[in-house]
Amino acid sequence: MAEKFDITVIGAGPGGFRAAVRCAQRAASVAIIEKDFIGGTCLNWGCIPSKALLASAHTLLAAKNAAAMGVDIASATPNWPKIQARKDSIVAGFRKAMTDSIQTSGAKLIQGRAIVISPNQIKIETDNGTVEILTDKIILATGSEPIQIPTIPFDGQTVISSKEALSLQQIPKSMVIVGGGAIGCELACVYAAVGTKITIVEALSRLIPMEDQWVGQLIERELKKLGINVLTSQKVISTDKTTGLAKIVLENGQTIEAEKLLISVGRKAACDKQTIEALNLETSGSAIKVNERLQTSAKNVYAIGDVAGTTYLAHGAAAEAEVAAVNATGGSDKMTDYSLVPRVVYTFPEVASVGKSEKTCNAEGIKFSVGKAFFRADGQSVAHGQTIGEIRATRDNSTNKIIGITIVGEMATELIAAARIFIGSDEKISKITFAHPTVSETLHDAVENAFGPSLHNMPKA
Ligand code: FAD
């Protein structure tokens, strides 16, 4: 007879993992189904491997610049196989830790591809054949996939997505990156640091276009210092791979040859068509439509994270998981203000923002004042030789409250946790979303643990 669960979570990325553990902690019987690796995009092909590579690149640049700090290092060169092995071992460690956490929570992890047949019936294709389970409720956490440019499809070798870019066997001599958003700019920093000749082609007028204009301008200036060629307001229209290299043609007729062409123009929500049809789900583009309680158009079916098309951030998925878990287990919770989910980019220097940007304030007709401070005037920043960047804080003139903070500079992605607290809220502190991956999450976990069970069984130090 088919096994029966109160709640079935499909997908074990940061959204699904957290939802499953939280539901189990709230005494539900839970199945979590994963067709690939536990940890999803975030752990295997996203946040964690990219930050591991960025950390190695950062160390290399620090070693090369050590003379300025009075430290002589004879030579500093990247050992790419070791950099890759270090990244892989970090990922493997967290896969194990997450598997342990699921087991400890009492949720059942099932390896296989889940296809929903009806709101209460799920078919799972496993290595050992097809099994069926019954469920009262479903949480869809199936994530997203990279967007392709139809005229330049991925081939996994020359035309690649971020997934392949994180695991290249060798350092390429040259790479064109199409898309100057977070992922494109982060990978540009990694490869520029290890010696690849990088060109970023961005269709819009600036890099990091989701942030205020000054951010993109500052980042462009700093990336150019790393030797990165930045072409804004430009589009790639075609590529010719007959010579083994990618010969890239831009809209203005310019051509660039590169060993790798990384397409990084965004991600789109991904969920099996059969599942969407079986549940008769309302969609918006590829995303599954949800309300503030993360309920889909189907009764007892929730969707969280990238598949809901809301933040496309791991900690956004985790925040939604908390809400969906409460609702699926009989409580009542909702997502309130998505602008309070911090936005982070791990470039050199980093970018982080939370709350309303100046652009949003203008669009919403909010009368505001902007406070600025510069790292070059800060003693600790000067002592560390990290003087690039600034912080801008936005005050709502009518309420006198800080409503947004944007930071560009060393450790911006950590400082944003403090910025979030400045904006304040009447939520429980454990519900305040901290950016992922950051050291500050450890602070959040400790505070959360003071109120109830924590989520992680972290790998032993
Ligand atoms: P995912 O992590 O995509 O997980 C979905 C899971 O569902 C996958 O494991 C998939 O195999 C599984 N699945 C799908 N369909 C089925 C099925 N039918 N049956 C069983 N399993 C299924 N975000 C940040 O916040 N910070 C960062 O620094 C950051 N860096 C990034 C860097 C890169 C290069 C990339 C690509 C992304 C980055 N992101 C970052 C985004 C982040 O990875 C995603 O927002 C996050 O992983 C979304 O989590 P999720 O749980 O919604 O989905």
pLDDT tens-digit readout, 25-69 = 999 999 999 999 999 999 999 999 999 999 999 999 999 999 999
**C-beta neighbour count of 38 within 10 angstroms:** 22
Tally Cβ neighbours within 10 Å of residue 221.
12
Rounded distance, CA 418 to CA 17, Å?
26
User: Which residue owns the Cα nearest ligand 1 atom 11?
Assistant: 36
**311 CA distance to ligand 1 middle (Å):** 12
pTM attached to this predicted model: 0.96
CB 278 near ligand 1, within 6 Å: no
Q: Is the CB of 33 under 6 A from ligand 1?
A: yes
The Cα 31–Cα 23 span in angstroms is 10
The listed CATH number (3.30.300.20, 3.10.450.750, 3.30.390.30, 3.90.79.10) that belongs to domain 349-451:
3.30.390.30
In this chain, the answer to whether the domains covering 3-146+268-338 and 159-265 adopt an identical fold is yes
Give the fold, CATH level 3, of 159-265: FAD/NAD(P)-binding domain (3.50.50)
Q: Is 317 in the pocket of ligand 1 (CB under 6 A)?
A: yes
Residue to mutate, 18, 22, 34, 41, ligand 1, most ligand atoms under 8 Å from C-beta: 41
Residue 158 buriedness (CB in 10 A; 0-12 / 13-18 / 19+): middle
398, 342, 400, 406: which is closest to 366 by C-alpha? 398
- Which atom of ligand 1 is least distant from the CA of 146? 36
Question: Ligand 1 atom 23: the closest Cα is on which residue?
Answer: 313
Nearest-atom index, ligand 1, CA of 33? 20
Residue 43: the pLDDT is 98
Please state, in angstroms and rounded to a whole number, the distance separating the CA atoms of residues 17 and 5.
Answer: 16
Across the strands, what pairs with 198?
A: 175
C-beta of residue 405 within 8 angstroms of C-beta of residue 422: yes
Phi/psi of residue 324, nearest 5 degrees: -60, -40
The topology (CATH level 3) of 3-146+268-338 is FAD/NAD(P)-binding domain (3.50.50)
Q: What is the distance between the alpha carbons of residues 458 and 94, in angstroms, rounded to a whole number?
A: 8
* Segments in the chain below pLDDT 70: 456-461
Q: Is 395 in the pocket of ligand 1 (CB under 6 A)?
A: no
Asked whether the beta carbons of 270 and 143 are under 8 A apart, the reply is yes
225 C-alpha vs ligand 1 centroid, how far in Å? 32
Preceding amide of 78 cis, omega within 30: no
Which of ligand 1's atoms lies nearest the C-alpha of 15?
Answer: 51
Give the list of residues 6+ apart from residue 121 with CB closer than 8 angstroms, or none.
2, 132, 133, 134, 135
- Is residue 47 within 6 Å of ligand 1 at its C-beta? yes
Alpha-carbon distance of 304 to 139, in angstroms, equals 7
Q: Is 10 in the pocket of ligand 1 (CB under 6 A)?
A: yes
Whether ligand 1 lies within 6 angstroms of the CB of 306 is answered as yes
* Ligand 1 pocket check for 16: Cβ under 6 Å: yes
| Ligand 1 closest atom vs CA 321 | 51
Q: Report the length, in residues, of the chain.
A: 461
Instruction: Identify the residue whose tokens are 């690039």.
Output: 388
Q: What pLDDT is stored for residue 410 in this prediction?
A: 95
Rounded CA-CA distance 261/239 in Å is 9
CB 403 within 8 A of CB 423: yes
Our mutation pick for probing the ligand 1 site, out of 142, 163, 267, 322, counting the most ligand atoms within 8 A of Cβ, is: 142
Q: Which of 45, 47, 335 most suits a substitution to test ligand 1, by most atoms within 8 Å of the C-beta?
A: 47
Residue in this structure with the two tokens 């460690």, named with its chain if needed? 93
Establish whether residue 145 lines the binding site of ligand 1, counting it when its CB lies within 6 angstroms of any ligand atom.
no
**What are the φ and ψ backbone dihedral angles of 250, each rounded to 5 degrees?**
-95, 165
**In sequence order, what DSSP letters do the residues of 182-225 get, joined into one string?**
HHHHHHHHHHHHTT-EEEEE-SSSSSSTTS-HHHHHHHHHHHHH
Residue 179 near ligand 1, beta carbon < 6 Å: no
Q: Directed axis angle between helix 47-64 and helix 182-193, to 10°? A: 40
User: According to the model, what pLDDT value does residue 373 have?
Assistant: 97
pLDDT of residue 456: 63
Distance 307 CA to ligand 1 centre (A): 9
- 231 DSSP 8-state letter: E
Q: Using the CB atoms, write b or e for 385-415: b if 16+ within 10 Å.
A: ebebbbbbbbbbeeeeebbbbbbbbbbbbbb
For position 460, what pLDDT does the model report? 41
Half-sphere exposure of residue 394, counting CA atoms within 13 Å on the CB side? 21
Q: How far is the CA of 327 from the centre of ligand 1 (A)?
A: 22
156 burial via Cβ count (<10 Å: 0-12, 13-18, 19+): exposed
Q: Known catalytic residues? A: 436
Q: Is 162 in the pocket of ligand 1 (CB under 6 A)?
A: yes
Among 22, 36, 38, 42, which residue has the most ligand 1 atoms within 8 Å of its CB, making it the best to mutate?
A: 42
- Encoded tokens for 258: 């590169």
313 lines ligand 1 (CB under 6 A): yes
pLDDT at 450: 84
**pLDDT per position as a tens digit, 220-251:** 999 999 999 999 999 999 899 888 899 999 99
Report helix angle 182-193 to 213-225, nearest 10. 20
Cα–Cα dist 316/152, whole Å: 30
* Residue of the CA atom closest to atom 41 of ligand 1: 313
397-448 tens-digit pLDDT: 999 999 999 999 999 999 999 999 889 777 777 778 999 999 999 988 888 8
Nearest CA to ligand 1 atom 45: 313
Q: Which residue has the tokens 């079916």?
A: 301
Residue nearest to atom 34 of ligand 1 (CA): 46
Output the CA 140–ligand 1 centroid distance in Å.
Answer: 12
Q: Domain-by-domain residue ranges, the chain?
A: 3-146+268-338, 159-265, 349-451
